[in-house]
Amino acid sequence: MKEYKIIQSIPGIGEKIAATIVSEIGEIDGFNHPKKLVAFAGVNPSVHSSGKFTAIINRITKRGSSRLRHSLYLAVLCGIRSSRNKKA
């Protein structure tokens, strides 16, 4: 699969994480805008506001695929770890 190879080329993403990301997203053409994919993953920010108050700290919605969100989190951790190893 073309998407699998592209995702696996990102530093820190191995076979298992790439397979999980590709399987959770499914057909990428189903998302006609990047914001829809972000919302599907549940990593879009939610804004808390009431009247004149707007929250300073915004959090992600967590409304999407928990497996995809977890795989992206692991990919970031592995990417950070591999970039630290290259510096040393």
Structurally, the chain folds into a number of domains equal to: 1
Is pLDDT at 38 greater than 90 in this prediction?
yes
pLDDT digits (tens, 9 = 90+) for 56-74: 777 888 999 999 999 999 9
Backbone angles phi, psi at 53, to 5 degrees: -85, 130
**Res 47: pLDDT:** 80
Beta strands in 21-86 (DSSP E): 45-46, 49-50, 53-54, 59-60
pLDDT at 18: 95
Q: Which domain holds residue 6?
A: 2-87
Query: Residue 41: its pLDDT value, please?
Result: 95
Asked if the model's pLDDT at residue 22 lies above 70, the reply is yes
